[in-house]
Structure 1
Amino acid sequence: MPAWLDALSALDAQGEAGVLVSVIRAQGSAPREAGVKMVVSASHVWDTIGGGNLEFQSIQDSRTLLTSGARLPVTRDFPLGPALGQCCGGATTVLFEPIRPPDWTVAIFGAGHVGRAVAKLLGDLPCRLLWFDSRADVLHGLAIPGNTRVRTTTEASDIATLPAGTAVLIMTHDHGVDFDLTETALRRPDLSFVGTIGSATKRARFASRLRRAGLDDMTIERLYCPVGLPGIGTKLPAEIAIAVVAQLLAARPVEAPRDAPVIDLAGPARPRHCGAPGCDPACSDGERQALPRK
């Protein structure tokens, strides 16, 4: 597997943004042919599109896109002349595709019938799903959605590993584990949602224990338990899952719409004659070549 493809998988697993950089046109003498790719993140580069200043400038452009928040692809034409520090005499067009993780992360603790049904629904939504269950035998053979990372643990300490803003669903096979996870999650005010499966009786018992553990009523009020939109009146896992996901969507933080930033990756200056001592005439010819833009 190419290094750039491995890099995309690694960035996805880590929830980290990157830019896929592709040479989509190579005209005349150029460092690499059309079709080569590399991946750039804030701190790493995988693979190569030919090295030299072309690659250096492409890395800089990629990081400009990353810091800008841009999400749309951008192309840039590079005449391979002295303004770029490369006298190949040809020209290259490079495509920059920002790859960003979803803004919304959901963590499910438990892979029982309801947990599986919820994961199935979330697999079709634009979110990053973290799915925890300590029972490797239960997880084995499950259909895992493409946006999902599975972890064979359900320790309360796992809550500390979740990104800020994560929505947490607690639905394990053990009420004691549910309580430990619930208490730990409620102690993190930066989590966007804390929901625990169970009845009104379970909520009352948990609330009493949470107060004894030192949590105040305002913090306990953050807990959605029973989790899911009320009034469904069913115990079928698929129907409970629909109610849970509907409640998640209703509670999901929504940012004010904003225009996508317009990023101009302007090419280097293109003098009509480079005038560099000893430079091959083909260089100035290359500087004058302008690739058509789509």
Structure 2
Amino acid sequence: MGFDLSDLQTAVAEHGQVTRVVIADIRGSSPREVGAAMLVWDSGQSGTIGGGALEFEAAETARRQTQPTVLSRHALGPDLGQCCGGAVVLLSEIYDVTRVAALDQEVIVRPTTTGTTDIPLSVQRLLNVARGSGLPPEPQLVDGWMVEPVHKPNRPVWVWGAGHVGRAVVDVLAPMPDLSVTWIDTGPERFPDKIPAGVTSLPAVQPAALMRHAPENAEHLILTYSHALDLELCHQALLRGFSFAGVIGSKTKWARFRSRLAALGHCPMTVDTLTCPIGDPSLGKHPQQIAIGVAAQMLRPALHVQMKKESHA
């Protein structure tokens, strides 16, 4: 989890002034982790810090907030009547176009009280360790300063096909913060009028030609309307390399694909790096059922191996 600068920029562009509420610290049990955040504006909100009484109270308070920065502590049981027995510290910050434009760092570091400008030595050490390791620091409150790395999705997912199943899969995957979704089909008319936020749509007359442009660590979900196109995408994916590649289909379809991929020069061991069917067929064949199964598989990478073994059994 990190500071989702893209979401904040979009919200400020649409609503003018937005208050970002982030969990800065936790003691004991909490519904969400440090770094979980929501955005609040006059007529709505997005994101979540855990729901229930804490989120409701924090959102209402954020709408009345006048100070640029407010740090508040909440005992979840005594103060809010929640089952969690812990306490959380919330940092609420008002952002407008000017303040958002100043957020150009890889790690966003700021004081939680006004009048403080000198970064503490403890924070400097934390940043130095992060730079030395090449890894971003975890979101945390350190000596009155909030430290959050800018969130960057680190899992490229390429979805091939914008039919009923492709749309259901993209709708389920798009909100997941670590996934960067690229969506491909044969023409712009194949896509819905509104593409989910954060999803890149790529219409292409010859979609398979785009495979060579995919990152080698991409995860591919092949869901097109054409068996011939699915086969060509599998062929090109095997030539390109991938982190995961799955194809929608039955065991009969997969048996035919295995034979045809072998005829294209791929050895059985290489072909077996593909997965068909994807997701969890036991959930059903409705597009949303397929999407739920695929999403579960994406969120639990160990299932890639399990599903592969089952599909080849």
Residue 250 of structure 1 pairs with residue 296 of structure 2: no
- 1:173 is the counterpart of 2:230: no
Show structure 1 runs of 5+ residues with no match. Answer: 10-22, 25-33, 43-53, 55-60, 78-93, 255-294
Q: TM-score scaled to structure 2, two decimals?
A: 0.52
- Larger of the two Rg values belongs to structure: 1
Distance change >3 Å, CA 229–CA 239, structure 1 → 2: same
Quote how far apart the aligned CAs of 1:186 are: 2.0
Indicate whether 1:72 and 2:124 are aligned. no
Shift of 1:74: 7.7
Q: Is 177-186 or 240-249 further displaced after alignment? A: 240-249
Greater percentage in helix? 2
Q: 1: CA distance between counterparts of 2:300 and 2:230?
A: 23
Match of 2:199 in 1: 148
Aligned to 1:286: none
Structure 1 residues 247 and 98, CA gap change in structure 2 (3 angstroms): closer
Q: Find the aligned partners of 2:163 and 2:202 in 1 and give their Cα distance.
A: 14
1:135 CA displacement? 1.9
Residues 78-112 of structure 1: CA distance to partner in whole angstroms, max 9, x if unpaired?
xxxxxxxxxxxxxxxx9764213122221100010
**d(CA) in 2 for partners of 1:109 and 1:121?**
15
1:187 match: secondary structure: helix
Report the CA distance between 1:240 and its aligned residue.
Answer: 1.5
- Residue 228 of structure 1 is matched in structure 2 by 279
- Residue pair 1:135, 1:152 contacting (<8 A) in 2 also: yes
Structure 1 partner of 2:269: 218
Q: How far apart, in 2, do the equivalents of 1:197 and 1:157 lie?
A: 20
Work out which of the residue numbers 252, 265, 273 in structure 2 matches 1:201: 252
Q: Alpha-carbon deviation of 1:137?
A: 1.1
Distance 2:293 2:158 in 1: 17
Does 1:122 pair with 2:173? yes
Q: In the alignment, is the contact (CA less than 8 A) between 1:105 and 1:130 conserved in 2?
A: yes
Q: Deviations over 1:172-223 (max 9, x none)?
A: 122221111111112334x221111122221111111110111111111112
Task: Give the alignment of 1:41-52 within 5 angstroms.
Answer: none
- Normalising by structure 1, what TM-score? 0.55
1:138 Cα deviation after fit: 2.1
| Between structures 1 and 2, the one with greater strand share | 2
Give the % identical residues: 34
Contact 1:115 1:171 in 2 (8 A): yes
Question: Are the equivalent residues in 2 in contact too, given 1:113–1:237 (CA < 8 A)?
Answer: yes
**Aligned positions of 1:1-294 closer than 5 A:** 35=99, 37-40=102-105, 67-72=134-139, 97-126=148-177, 127-142=179-194, 144-153=195-204, 155-189=207-241, 191-232=242-283, 234-251=284-301
- 1:251-288 per-residue CA deviation (whole Å, 9 max, x = no partner) reads 3699xxxxxxxxxxxxxxxxxxxxxxxxxxxxxxxxxx
Work out which structure has the larger RCO, using CA pairs closer than 8 Å and 6 or more positions apart in sequence: 1
Matched-pair contact (CA < 8 Å) for 2:137–2:148? no
1:64 Cα offset (Å): 8.1
Q: Is the 8 A contact 2:185 2:207 kept in 1?
A: no
Give the residue type in structure 2 aligned to 1:170: I
The 3-state SS of whatever aligns with 2:158 is strand
Structure-2 change in CA distance of 1:103 and 1:180 (3 Å):
same
Consecutive unaligned residues in structure 2, runs of 5 or more: 10-67, 70-97, 108-117, 119-125, 305-313
Question: Is contact 1:132-1:152 (8 Å) kept?
Answer: yes
> Please, what is the CA RMSD of the aligned residues?
3.9
Shift of 1:122: 0.6
Q: 1:253 to 1:98 in 2, by over 3 A?
A: farther
Structure 2 residue matching 1:130: 3-state secondary structure: strand
